[in-house]
Amino acid sequence: MTKIVDARVIVTCPGRNFVTLKLVTDDGLTGVGDATLNGRELAVASYLTEHVVPTLLGRDATRIEDTWQYLYKGAYWRRGPVTMSAIAAVDTALWDIAGKRAGLPVHQLLGGRSRDGVTVYGHANGADADELLTEVGRFLDEGYRAVRVQCGVPGLEKVYGVSSAAIYEPADAAVPSESVWSTEAYLDHVPEVFRRIRAEFGPGPKLLHDVHHRLTPIEAARLGKSLEPYALTWMEDPVPAELQEGFRLIRQHTTTPVAVGEVFNTIWDCEQLIREQLIDYVRATVVHAGGITHLRRIFDLAALHHVRSGSHGATDLSPVCMSAALQLDISIPNFGLQEYMPHSAETDAVFPHAYHYEGGYLHPGNEPGLGVDIDEELAAKYPYRPASLPVNRLQDGTLHSW
């Protein structure tokens, strides 16, 4: 038995907000877990501080599964992003400690490497198709094999995923900013953008597109059909996924592969999607889906049904989450793709990490544990700043999914 003797919840804003849990054991090991929930950071920090930390002190750090069950079943109130992000942070930190105790990277505890590197996709975007083509070319020159493509839509001032900023950051104001959306303008524009990309770069690059939950199933079916000639690797979040059956309708109409899951927090959010093979990629990730323990459960179920992983990796997931996600990516049999958007230099300095990018792949490194830490002294220099995700309205003012 090795006891947890300290548990610190660290909130820091090196360019954007992150919540990190750091656990310390009586034999001097430390472990870190990401608990960042974009725009709702303090809710998870408070859940951890008030309700979780008091139950951790004195607990056996080697009992990872039991601790997960204790926090999940013991709360009585199951699921939900706040609870599951808090559980994820504890679970991730315990895996980190287990790896350090064994002197092995966590992927060695998960069965070892199933591949040599983790194929990642980058984000190319442009205000118009010309700008976008230049960006796609830049990613391909940097060695990326897969590129997510987002383009401005004529007549719409702001479109999800399109920005001139070097670092992706949608949480742009303390009180949510608002943008205006037209499904008609969007559906009219997107196929031509992909036609131009394939005409310029040929069939080689894997192309992805994020719809960001904005369509109905029949609209998504139409989009998928119109994109079939351009052979996308996936169409992401075509519809909000609360209604899992909604995906059946999309499936009946198009062979464009479907990816979904960045807002999922348990296996129950995707159980039907996976079991009925209504999707091709499940994009849940460590921090929001209950940690390494629970995400591996999701990926194992997915493997039975020909569904691959496609973990979320936006910049609002800290390098701690990325380090943990890479341990799973490199080891599971049904890996698909990993999203990768480099963090700012300030964030990288607060979270020194062993993973690195090379020629289209991320490599988790071979450090014991997760291969990541938080510099607490530096983190303290960046106090929390309120920041919210935007909301989206139709042209007549109706609130729509963002």
Q: Which positions are annotated as active-site residues?
A: 160, 212
How distant is the alpha carbon of residue 304 from its chain centre? 22
**Is there a contact between 351 and 372 (Cβ–Cβ < 8 Å)?**
yes
H or E segment and range at residue 246: helix 246-253
H or E segment and range at residue 28: none
Query: Does 339 participate in binding ligand KDG (rule CB under 6 A)?
Result: yes
Cα–Cα distances in Å, from 256 out to 149, 221, 274, 304? Answer: 15, 9, 16, 21
Nearest-angstrom CA–CA distance, 139 and 268: 36
Among ligand KDG, Mg ion, none, what does residue 280 contact (CB within 5–8 Å per kind)?
A: none
Of 149-208, binders to ligand KDG (CB under 6 A) are 170
- The full DSSP string for 99-141 is HHHHTSBHHHHTT--SSSSEEEEEEEEESSHHHHHHHHHHHHH
Query: Does 285 participate in binding ligand KDG (rule CB under 6 A)?
Result: no
Among Mg ion, ligand KDG, none, what does residue 343 contact (CB within 5–8 Å per kind)?
A: none
Of 207-236, binders to Mg ion (CB under 5 A) are 210
Min dist. Cβ of residue 400 to ligand KDG (A): 15
DSSP assignment letter at 294: H
Stretch that binds Mg ion, among 45-53, 188-196, 256-264, 360-368 (CB under 5 A): 256-264
Query: Does 339 participate in binding Mg ion (rule CB under 5 A)?
Result: no
Q: What x/- string results for residues 75 through 114 when contact with ligand KDG is judged by CB under 6 A?
A: ----------------------------------------
Among Mg ion, ligand KDG, none, what does residue 38 contact (CB within 5–8 Å per kind)?
A: ligand KDG
Among ligand KDG, Mg ion, none, what does residue 314 contact (CB within 5–8 Å per kind)?
A: ligand KDG
Size of site (CB under 6 A) for ligand KDG: 10
Q: What is residue 375's three-state secondary structure? A: coil
Stretch that binds ligand KDG, among 44-52, 214-222, 308-316, 391-399 (CB under 6 A): 308-316
Phi, psi of 42 (to 5 degrees): -70, -20
Cite the DSSP H helix spans in 276-387: 291-304, 319-331, 345-350, 376-379
Choose which of 231, 314, 378, 391 interacts with ligand KDG (CB under 6 A).
Answer: 314
Phi, psi of 361 (to 5 degrees): -120, 150
Query: Does 265 participate in binding ligand KDG (rule CB under 6 A)?
Result: no
Query: Does 210 participate in binding ligand KDG (rule CB under 6 A)?
Result: yes
* Closest alpha carbon to 372 in 36, 97, 48: 97
Nearest-angstrom CA–CA distance, 187 and 238: 12
**316 or 373: whose CB is closer to ligand KDG?**
316
**75 or 180: whose CB is closer to ligand KDG?**
180
Among Mg ion, ligand KDG, none, what does residue 107 contact (CB within 5–8 Å per kind)?
A: none
Tell me which residues touch ligand KDG (CB under 6 A): 38, 170, 210, 212, 262, 312, 314, 316, 339, 389
Tell me which residues touch Mg ion (CB under 5 A): 210, 262
